[in-house]
Amino acid sequence: MVQLLVNVDVDDIERAIEFYRAAIGLHLGRRLFDGSVAEMLGASSVIYLLAKPAGTLPSRQAASVRDYHRHWTPVHLDFEVDDVGRAVDRAVAAGARLEEEARSFSWGQLATLSDPFGHGFCLLQFSDRGYDAASSRKEYRGSLCSARLTTTL
């Protein structure tokens, strides 16, 4: 079995720890590598916050440098919550930016946000059938977020 570890680059490790604690309900497991990495627990996968200064190269082959303004990436996090409205309020109060209000689908509700470091994420609340309700309908194409993590808010 493959274990999923999620790494999220941030420019301020302390602010990131506080944001993910207050917004999502994660908690600090431990600090690694002289405090430059924070292990955040409380989701179905461990999330590692990595202190990486803005303007640095993500790899030797990279064409662009790290930038913590809002950016698009084809990978983002989904957090499954019990009450999407309450979870959105909590995330926004912690510093998230609401990009799209919660929308309703037969499988549940979904809101899109971004964290203070420019990373997009979704909060979703499943109905009783969850994604099974969308398994044969075309109306849901493009409405789902990717990489699913689960936490309770």
Residue partners of 128: CB distance under 8 A and separation at least 6: none
| pLDDT tens per residue across span 80-136 | 999 999 999 999 999 999 999 999 998 899 999 999 999 999 999 998 877 777 776
What is the number of structural domains in the chain? 1
- Domain assignment present for residue 62? The answer is no
Question: Is residue 106, in this structure, part of any structural domain at all?
Answer: yes
Per-residue pLDDT, 56? 86
Longest dimension (CA), the chain: 49
- In-domain check, residue 142: yes
Q: Give the alpha-carbon dihedral of 87, 91, 93, 96, to 10 degrees.
A: -150
Dump pLDDT digits (tens) for 24-54: 999 999 999 999 999 999 999 999 999 999 9
Residue 137: the pLDDT is 54
Q: Which residue(s) pair with 105 in the sheet? A: 108
Instruction: Assess if residue 95 is contained within a domain.
Output: yes
Residue 134: enclosing H or E segment and its boundaries? none
CATH number of the CATH domain containing 116: 3.10.180.10
Is residue 135, in this structure, part of any structural domain at all? yes
* Residue 7 domain-assigned (yes or no): no
What pLDDT score was predicted for residue 147? 39
Residue 14 within a domain: no
What pLDDT, on a 0 to 100 scale, did the predictor assign at position 135?
75
Residue 120, domain extent: 77-150
Q: Got the DSSP string for 3-35?
A: PPEEEEEES-HHHHHHHHHHHH--EEEEEETTT
Examine residue 126 and state whether it is found in any structural domain, yes or no: yes
